[in-house]
Structure 1
């Protein structure tokens, strides 16, 4: 069912941050930093995949993502909703259901057998495709999925995510130079603000996280042993 209510972007960001904290998707640890796939340390980690196990929160955030994309990009802007393997697949299915559109998904690599396909489902030449993922850091990981969509003859100028780091200034250029607009519900700044309101972590941890968000590259360089 297509949502018909449109909360403000500020309310959506606050409620999304609150939901991520409520389900235990947010982890802060400055003393023993997490190592991201880049190999660099960070005092923050978010696991949006947890959301699929919480039906009420899941439904609310998918309503938020649907109305955000429709408000920002247009109500008739898309012909197909695609999810990126693997975390984007369930969220793409839920958004596609709400938008009453076909759903497809994109493999990270072609299958090693059969047709060797990267796109599963039906995606037609000329389709305007909305790429859905759970989150983005600096935007780079989205480009491979976008290129796979475009190789079919379809177009992809928009990607929607639940969570964007929001701390890497180069992200806008990474996606923008590729002709892609990002639509995100919340960032680390929204989560930090909500964590402070809730006193969800001790002051030392919150201060360290804020220092990281202010200068992620500098923080990583100082803590990369």
Structure 2
């Protein structure tokens, strides 16, 4: 069994995949919900997700000065990738606090620095676009996003329209294929 198939099965075992009827952030209904927040309780799986994203980042040959994880699920993944590359991490707050520094973007950066966005799952691409818009407003260059799962629901096209290349580890169709192949779900569910 290949390493990615094994990781998908581990994610299944920790209930990162839920089947039923779910409303997504986009408002669409889906028969599958992917909850990668659970990986923070499984350090080996968290590390494995980050390793696979690192491999995609290396293959992309994108040069970058910093990394920003989309809040909140991608932050622990981005932390590992930053440590592996010894690059600064930036954090985009979901909201500006009315106390302290009142910054939307936390971390050290220079105008025109190239920043890679890290995201766990892309559906429409809206979370990546929101993050890119905030980073660009601070003078950062955003051209690429690395994601673990692509739900194949037009996210890549939406990102391309905003001049962001999507680099993914897995498509949802591949995930469902692994789960069917290993008897975790039936073809009807996939």
Instruction: Output the TM-score relative to the length of structure 2.
Output: 0.90
* Aligned partners of 1:159 and 1:181 also within 8 Å: yes
Aligned position for 2:14? 23
Shift of 1:18: 2.7
Alignment gaps of 5+ in structure 2: none
Between the aligned partners of 1:12 and 1:107, the Cα distance in structure 2 is 34
Alignment gaps of 5+ in structure 1: 1-10, 211-225
Partner residue of 1:190 out of 153, 159, 174:
174
- Partner secondary structure for residue 27 of structure 1: strand
Q: Structure 1 residues 164, 155: CA separation in 2 closer, same or farther (over 3 Å shift)?
A: same
Within a 5 Å distance, the mapping from 1:33-182 to structure 2 comes to 33-74=21-62, 77-166=63-152, 168=153, 170-182=154-166
Between the aligned partners of 1:99 and 1:137, the Cα distance in structure 2 is 27
* Aligned partners of 2:70 and 2:127 also within 8 Å: no
- Partner secondary structure for residue 66 of structure 1: helix
Between the aligned partners of 2:60 and 2:10, the Cα distance in structure 1 is 22
* Aligned partners of 1:12 and 1:64 also within 8 Å: no
Shift of 1:101: 0.6
Between the aligned partners of 2:178 and 2:22, the Cα distance in structure 1 is 21
Q: Structure 1 residues 12, 153: CA separation in 2 closer, same or farther (over 3 Å shift)?
A: farther
Between the aligned partners of 1:125 and 1:142, the Cα distance in structure 2 is 20
Instruction: Output the TM-score relative to the length of structure 1.
Output: 0.77
* Aligned partners of 1:61 and 1:162 also within 8 Å: yes
Shift of 1:13: 4.6
Name which one, 1 or 2, has greater alpha-carbon Rg.
1
Between the aligned partners of 2:178 and 2:5, the Cα distance in structure 1 is 7
* Aligned partners of 1:17 and 1:186 also within 8 Å: no
* Aligned partners of 1:12 and 1:186 also within 8 Å: no
Shift of 1:171: 2.2
Q: Which of 1 and 2 has higher RCO (CA within 8 Å, sep 6+)?
A: 1
